[in-house]
Amino acid sequence: DMEVAIKVVVVGNGAVGKSSMIQRYCKGIFTKDYKKTIGVDFLERQIIVNGEEVRLMLWDTAGQEEFDAITKAYYRGAQACVLVFSTTDRESFQAINSWRQKVEAEVGNIPTVLVQNKIDLLEETVIKNEEAEALAKRLKLRFYRASVKEDLNVNEVFKYLAEKYLQR
């Protein structure tokens, strides 16, 4: 039985929770003062999807996204993508379009999911539900509201991507 391995890139503006999401999913932890550098290119986790073993390799950036300096090597060979914005950061929501375009320019149309992180901070929201849903609809993407902090919907995001990838 051949094992399936999927390179997943997690993109979005700085501070939306990308590194935290990767840590949460692969190590099961959430730390408030997560360091910018993770020290390795990616963390991985193995799951079973439709009876198949799937190894997800989640690639992190070392904060280069804040300088619009993500290298081509980061995207190279990516097979799935998580687009992340934050409940409390309107700019991160407005930047989703341009992140999508960057990924598409580098690796084409790969299985992608849209994630609104930090829904534990919903009382501080700067994004209306309708506009987030409208964006997902326009980009034709599955949309999840998640909280990496509270561990809400994180597993679902990656399970969906793995399923979507296997369906190709």
Q: Which residues are near ligand GDP by CB under 6 A?
A: 14-20, 32, 34, 117-118, 120-121, 147-149
Beta-carbon contacts of residue 75 (< 8 Å; ≥ 6 apart) = 9, 102, 103, 106, 107
Question: In whole angstroms, how close is the CB of 157 to Mg ion at the nearest point?
Answer: 16
d(Cα 96, Cα 146) in Å, to the nearest integer? 16
Cβ proximity to ligand GDP, 54 vs 57, nearer residue: 57
* 147 is a contact residue toward Mg ion (CB under 5 A): no
Q: Among the candidate windows 17-25, 44-52, 70-78, 83-91, which touches Mg ion by CB under 5 A?
A: 17-25
Cβ proximity to ligand GDP, 152 vs 166, nearer residue: 152
Select from ligand GDP, Mg ion, none the partner in contact with residue 96, using the beta carbon and a kind-dependent cut-off of 5 to 8 Å. none
Q: Are the CB atoms for 55 and 68 separated by under 8 Å? A: no
* 19 is a contact residue toward Mg ion (CB under 5 A): yes
d(Cα 42, Cα 134) in Å, to the nearest integer? 32
Question: In whole angstroms, how close is the CB of 166 to ligand GDP at the nearest point?
Answer: 27
Question: Is the Cα torsion angle 38, 6, 154, 139 positive or negative in sign?
Answer: positive
Question: In whole angstroms, how close is the CB of 20 to ligand GDP at the nearest point?
Answer: 3
Q: Give the containing element (helix H, strand E) for 74.
A: helix 72-75
